[in-house]
Amino acid sequence: MAEKFKIQGGETLKGEVSVGGAKNAVLKHLAATILVNGKTKIYNVPHLTDVDIMLNVLSDLGAKYTYDKEEKSVVVDASNITSITAKYELVSKMRASFIILGALMSRCKEAIVALPGGCAIGERRVDFHIKGLEALGAKIKIENGYVHAKASKLVGADIYLDIPSVGATENLMLAAVLAEGSTRIQNAAQEPEIIDLANFLNTIGADVSGAGTSEILINGVKAENLHSAEYTTIPDRIEA
């Protein structure tokens, strides 16, 4: 006999629930803290394994962090980035950690990041990230499951994404923050998390406009224009 639910109506439903922070937004905020030569505090951080993984990635690069699970906040101090390598042991655990590529390129002009899950170019659209970074002036090699990107400087460019990839849009937004001149991402992803990332970047001193539309404009700023800040992550729309 099939299982079923019997719902007795007639009662007014009311009450309140607290919606946690959006995982897919906060992971990108954490990666973006690398851009700031100082401390950044993020509120509404959900207690999830993926958050722990991203914090471990940051720690492995030399950043320090304090995670207050009661307050649901994280303070990241990226004053002393000592490594440009995001190791396979960490990146393979969570595909979203690949966004560290754009953040490292923006700040250090060089990054060595494991391919997420060990996937090959073309299999899971990592090629869109690569092509966009090359348009900004990066020289990229793929060796032994790692992306090695390097540039004497990044220069703004017009970039058209073949599909509106969320990950590629986010990676290129981060890479373009400290590039010389302006970068225009066309056919950009338009999800709420893209808007939230743009708001976060603007809070720390970047110049991003158009997020939430198909065309995002990032006017590059100097590293000294980026500063410590506090930011509250948007609620998780899936949980809501």
Asked whether 190 and 148 are in contact (CB, 8 A), the reply is: no
Catalytic residue among 119, 121, 155, 217: 119
Q: How far is CA 15 from CA 12, 18, 159, 238, in A?
A: 10, 10, 47, 19
Query: What is the DSSP-derived secondary structure letter of residue 220?
Result: -
Rg (CA), the chain: 19
Q: What is the residue type of 111?
A: A
Active-site residue, 119 included: yes
**Nearest to 101, CA basis, from 73, 66, 131:** 131
Asked whether 185 and 172 are in contact (CB, 8 A), the reply is: yes
Asked whether 167 and 99 are in contact (CB, 8 A), the reply is: yes
- Contact residues for 205 (Cβ-Cβ < 8 A; gap 6+): 221, 225, 226, 227, 229
Asked whether 184 and 151 are in contact (CB, 8 A), the reply is: no
Asked whether 193 and 22 are in contact (CB, 8 A), the reply is: yes
* Active site positions, annotated: 119
